[in-house]
Amino acid sequence: MGMFDGKKGLITGVFNKQSIAWAIAERIMEEGGSCGFSYMPDKADDARQKNLNRIQKLTDGNPGVVFLQPMDATNDEHIATVMDRCKSDLGQIDFLLHSIAFALPEDLKGDTIATSREGFKLAMEISVFSLIAIAHAAQPVLSDGATILTLTYFGGEKTVPGYNVMGVCKAALDSVTKYLAHDLGPRGIRVNALSAGPLQTISGRGAGVEDMLGLYEAMAPLGRNITHEEAGKSGCFLLSDMSSGITGEILHLDGGYNAMGSPGRLLDRIQAAQAS
């Protein structure tokens, strides 16, 4: 028996095979879970429907996939339609994965102090308020004791140059996680966040993940970067009954990087290089 046998839920934000959300969803379905997927809608003039085709290639033939539904996270009608689809195709759901974030490239790559007003509002609406909006709309279809998980990053806790406005968004997302945990706690619904270290994903590349991989490998106590498989297992744990006493928590999956108060073994490398 799998830990998700008989469990049903909604996965948002899968973009491609490298998405952390896909690593989590794939593991859930391997463990017997059934998933509905929402994805970013294609533009009206995109006859190729690239977003739909991309997720169809991932999900086709997987018996755990129940539906695919486009959803614009800034559109309440879209969100309501997804919840109606959950109700009709899944009934009550046991888990919900929020994996939605966006900032304009010029705001993400520029210094935080140069963030545009409209760009800031857009980044906060999509990356932060979407969790509130989706959790609110999902209340009628969430089972008592269900679990919500969002994806965050250490750049919301400490300054990470290059992460810029998205770090501000993640700080807000971390706070929303805790407040929603309080609001939904009376129903036994848990809300947590997974803070993964750098991985090769679309959003990671936009935030300069290539520059971070070597740093994490050199500084993390484990001396290596994490894997998509580990992200899948950790997310699966937080969405399962195995974590039944955990809510309002930010779980760091980064080889221990977040625990470091100094460069650690990286300093040894620097000193050795200077000595030579």
Active site residue 257: no
Torsion of CA 35, 40, 46, 52, to 10 degrees: -10
Other Cβ atoms within 10 Å of 77 Cβ, number: 9
Helix/strand number for the chain, H first, E second: 11, 7
Which ranges of the chain would DSSP assign to H, the alpha helix? 20-30, 50-59, 76-89, 105-109, 117-124, 130-138, 165-184, 202-206, 209-219, 228-239, 265-275
> Choosing from 39, 163, 216, 257, which is the catalytic residue?
163
Contact between 61 and 96 under an 8 Å Cβ cutoff? The reply is: no
Active site residue 216: no
Alpha-carbon gap, residue 269 to 266, rounded angstroms: 5
> Choosing from 39, 153, 216, 257, which is the catalytic residue?
153
Active site (catalytic) residues: 153, 163
